[in-house]
Amino acid sequence: MVGPDCWRAVASCMRRDGFDARAIEYGGVQGPDWHEGAATRIARQAAGLNQPWVLALHSAAGAFAPAIVGAVITKPSAILFVDAILPHPGRSWLETAPPALADRLRGLAKDGVLPQWNRWFLADPALRLVSDEARRVEFEAALPRLPMSFLQCPAPAADLGGDERVGYLRLSEGYDAEATAAGLRGWKVASAPMDHLAMISQPDRVAAMIVEFAAALIVHG
């Protein structure tokens, strides 16, 4: 929903420290194979990563985890959900959203297409979460417009290949419920008092947390 641009600074920080980090481009959601098609494009970009490699998913991208794991040839050594929704097999994104937001999006769609993510809400969250104006303008310019039908398509079956190397990194209070659900699944959970778009404003800190958490998952998984 926000594209890879907001993660490029984190990837740059990690490459500076010697990791082969990539901010993957989903290539735009395209139906009818919404999840599978995106997963195939992601797997193509992830090919050739140094081993072991870690899949980190942010926000709504969490729902893509099963399809990505199924599409890549070399499976990730760890999967890290970063302030992300959990897989919701058999249900659409719209069915998992708060009813008030779902109703609002139905009203916002024009010719089956939604405005950019930051326009979905009564108050623009980017104004609150990205204080640097230049970064905010750059972030907003890269936001895609999604077809409403993508939010209405059921997600595929969830199979992450075992829970011992799956972790949840909670950055904001808005994802407390997901972090709790992840813990109930037996996933390792870590929490930091940041915000949902901290990868833009605090890329060094987010990069360091991902490296530390992922290393723990691989070693102790």
Tens of pLDDT, residue by residue over 33-56, are 788 888 888 888 888 887 889 999
Q: Are 13 and 72 contained in the same domain?
A: yes
Q: Are 81 and 104 contained in the same domain?
A: no
How many domains would you assign to the chain? 2
Q: Are 51 and 100 contained in the same domain?
A: no
Q: Are 33 and 76 contained in the same domain?
A: yes
At 25, the pLDDT band (50, 70, 90 cuts) reads confident
pLDDT digits (tens, 9 = 90+) for 91-145: 999 999 999 999 999 999 999 999 999 999 999 999 999 999 999 999 999 898 9
Q: Are 26 and 61 contained in the same domain?
A: yes
The pLDDT assigned to 105 comes to 96
Q: Are 23 and 40 contained in the same domain?
A: yes
In a domain, 218, yes or no: no
Q: Are 96 and 82 contained in the same domain?
A: no
In a domain, 133, yes or no: yes
In a domain, 116, yes or no: yes
Q: Are 60 and 29 contained in the same domain?
A: yes
Q: Are 98 and 84 contained in the same domain?
A: no
Query: Does the model's pTM come out above 0.85?
Result: yes
Q: Are 118 and 181 contained in the same domain?
A: no
In a domain, 109, yes or no: yes
168-176 long-range contacts, Cβ below 8 Å, gap at least 24?
A: 168/80, 168/81, 168/84, 169/80, 169/81, 169/82, 169/83, 169/209, 169/210, 169/213, 170/83, 171/82, 171/83, 171/195, 171/196, 171/198, 171/206, 172/83, 172/196, 172/198, 174/83, 175/83, 175/84
Domain boundaries, position 143: 92-153
Q: Are 63 and 160 contained in the same domain?
A: yes
